[in-house]
Each structure stands twice: as C-alpha cells, then as structure tokens.
Amino acid sequence: MIEKLISVPFFQLIRHKSVQNFIFLLIIQSSNILISLIVMPLLIQSIGVDQFGLVSLALSVILIANVFVGFGYNLSGPRDVALNQKDPKTLSAILSTVISSKLVLAVLAAISLLIAVKGFGFFPEYQVILIYSLLMLFSEATLPVWFFQGMEKMKLVSVANVFSKLLYLAGIVLFIQGPTDAKWVNFFFGGSALSINLLVLTYLNAELKVTVYFIGFINVVRSWKNNVYLFLSAMASHISVSGGLVVLSFFATANVLGMYSLAERVAMVLRLFPSIVVGAVFPNASKLFIDDKDSFFRFVSRVYKTTLIFSAGISLTVYLLAPFIIKILAGEHNMTTSVKFLQILAFVPFMATLNIANMVLMLVSDQRKILFNSSWAFCLYMLLASIGLTSWLGGQGLAISMLSTEFVIFILCSWLLHKNIPNIFNGFYKRAFSSHHTG
C-alpha cells in the first residue's frame, strides 16, 4: 500500500478533489484551534479567570443548542449537494431547505433559552453573557461549509472561516478591556461568523446563481421529519464525546479533573482526523456509489488503508511524546497523571479511524436508522462503561472506557451493516482486504 501511495505523483494527488476537501477542512479546524489558543490567554488577562469561566459555560450551553440547530444537516446536506452539483435550481432548493430549517430551529432555540433565563431564572451567574451569546445560534444556522463540502470547492469557505476568526480576534483585542466586557466575547464570535456567512451566501447568488429563499413552515417541518434520525444520531455522538468529563466530576477531585481535561483536549483535537477524512471523501464517494460501485469500493478502500496507516503513526507519536506535549501545555507543573491519561487517550484517533469505512458506507447508502441505532448504542455503552470504570479506576478508568467505546462502535456498526446491507458491506471488505485486490 505504501509503495502504491508513494508512486502517485504529488501534484496529481493534491489536485484530487477529496484531497483538497481534506486539506481545506483541516485548515478550517486548525484555524479554529489556533485562534482559541491565542484568544484564551488574552481573555484571561483582560476579563479575569472568573469571567472567562462564565463565558466558557455560556459557550458550552450554546454548543449544545447548536447540535439542535444543526439537526443533522451537516451529514445529509453534502450528499444531496454532491449528487446535484451541476443543477443550480436543485442546489437552490437544497440550500434554501437547509438554511430555512436551521433558521427556524435557531429561533426556537433562542426563544427557549430566553424563557429559561427570564421566565425560570436558569443560569443565574451568566444570564447576560448567555443572552449576548444567542447570536451564535444564527451563525450556526447560516454556516455554508456543508454546501461547499458537497460541491467539493472548499477553498473559498476555508478562507472565509479564517477571516471570520481573525475578525473575532480583532474584536477581542480592540474592545475587550475588562470584566464588564465579558458579555461581548461570544457576541463577537457569533457576529463575525454571521457576517462572513452572509457574504458567502451573497457570493453563491452572484457567482453560482444559487439563491436562498424561505421554503414555508410546512416544508420546514417535512424537512425535520426527514432528518430526525440524523439529528438524534448527532446528539448521541455529542454526548458520547463530551460526556466523559461530566461523569468524572462525580468521582474525582478538581485537580484530577483538570489533569484529565488537559489530556482529553489533546486527544479530542486528534480525534478530528477521522471526522475530517469522512467529511472530505463523502461527496465523491456518494457520486461513485451511484455511478460505479467498483470505483466506489476501490476509492474507499484506498482511503481506508491510507488513513489507518496515518492514524496509527499519529497515535504512536503522541504516546511517545506525551510527557513533552503535557510539559509544553502545562509548563513546569507536575502533571505526571495527565501524561498517563494522554498515553491511553493517544490511541483514540486510531480506534476511531477503524470505523471510517463503515461511516462512509452508512452515509452514501443513506442508512439513517443504522446510524441512529449505532449512535445511541455507542452513547449507552460509553455512559455505562465510563461510570463503571471511573468509579473503579478514576481518570484512567474513564480514559480506558473512551478507548474501548471506539472499538465497540466499530464492531457494532460492522454487525449492523452486515445484517442490513450485506452486499455492500461484504463487497467493500472483500475488495479492501482480498490478496487479489489490485485497487
């Protein structure tokens, strides 16, 4: 496999749309992480640790609400766009359906949070910050990354994302001067993203003749019904990935919680790798699945083998460099326990990569019920395993449970796919690992 990869001319590889999709998705995620790392010390210095904590709490509430606003359209949208890349009328209908549906969800989420704050007095310590953060719901609703992902033209939207993050950084530097300005932090984040999103949508109308219009409430509700399984799957995945710290908080001291949190942040950044790969190859895989099954199997097989090699290298590197990584992030503090956590979590990206092919098979064949069933089984296993192992082994138990969860979801997805779409499942894995396979 390695010899075949090396034999491919570099520039030919770079020109491949799936590779470009991967590169630009990686740029988007990298810029998000980099800006967060730059902004964090600036905010702590200007608004103080206490207000920074409240801003982070408000952000966590909004991120959960954004899963609701997204409603699984980031999974269904790229496939629909990829299958209609040359039809502006159909593309306009797809874009309008998603934007309309997400905007109505954003309004519902905003109203619900306002009622929770004003009517029931929830979130007492950061009510004002949370209200100013509601703009982020609408930036999520208008985010067009999924559309360009389906079009396999990620350059513009990746540049737009970087520019919006720089705009946000400029707002922090110029206008956040003290603790009383804390309410503006998430507002600037949402406002800069929303402004850039609207400019990109204007570009779509002017250059590609793809327009956005409101599709009507009846069609919005119909769209929600079609996407409900994907939404519930996304919610289950969010709980599975983000719920570990909540579980650990019931069994560990604040010191252990902090050390695990540091290791988990590194691991969760690395776990983006398989997600980015799926997002990058999904559009092209969707077209090949419809047009030519043999080409589809060869394409996904090459991607799968290559990403397994790279993710194994990433996991081993992080395992070996864990003491150095933690020292860089934590300074001179004694974080030996955090190193142990990271050495276990280092293999989460590789375990998650095992399931890349299964995810692509589910998405291109539109197996929403399989995705739903596997996601909630994944979530249930994670909760049970994390509670059991954390109560027994503390933070190390939680790290082991997160690692085992990735392997369990691979086994479960494989079983469900073999049971429900055996021809596609067997067709792929026989071609991928047959000694006579030449792709």
Query: How buried is 206 (Cβ within 10 angstroms: 0-12 exposed, 13-18 middle, 19+ buried)?
Result: exposed
Name the band, by pLDDT with cuts 50, 70 and 90, for residue 16: low
Least confident piece of the model among 17-21, 188-192, 201-205, 433-437: 433-437
pLDDT at 394 over 50: yes
Q: 227 and 250: one domain?
A: no
User: What pLDDT digit, counting tens, does each position of 253-278 carry?
Assistant: 767 776 787 788 788 788 888 888 88
User: What pLDDT digit, counting tens, does each position of 164-211 carry?
Assistant: 999 999 999 999 999 899 899 999 999 999 999 999 999 998 888 899
pLDDT the model gives residue 126: 82
Q: 251 and 230: one domain?
A: no
Range of the domain at 387: 243-439
pLDDT at 30 over 80: no
Name the residue with higher pLDDT: 204 or 280.
Answer: 204
Q: 153 and 294: one domain?
A: no
- In 4-42, which positions are buried (b, 16+ CB within 10 angstroms) versus exposed (e)? eeeeeeeeeeeebebebbbbbbbbbbebeeebeeebeee
User: What pLDDT digit, counting tens, does each position of 90-145 carry?
Assistant: 999 999 999 999 999 999 999 999 999 999 988 888 899 999 999 999 999 999 98
With respect to residue 288, please indicate whether it lies within any of the assigned structural domains.
Answer: yes
Structural domain count of the chain:
2
With respect to residue 287, please indicate whether it lies within any of the assigned structural domains.
Answer: yes
Q: 228 and 274: one domain?
A: no
User: What pLDDT digit, counting tens, does each position of 340-359 carry?
Assistant: 999 999 999 999 999 999 99
Nearest to 362 by CA among 351, 354, 374, 353: 374
Mean pLDDT of 320-332: 78
Domain boundary among 208, 241, 274: 241
Q: 166 and 276: one domain?
A: no
Q: 128 and 232: one domain?
A: yes
Q: 336 and 204: one domain?
A: no
Name the residue with higher pLDDT: 388 or 54.
Answer: 388
With respect to residue 250, please indicate whether it lies within any of the assigned structural domains.
Answer: yes
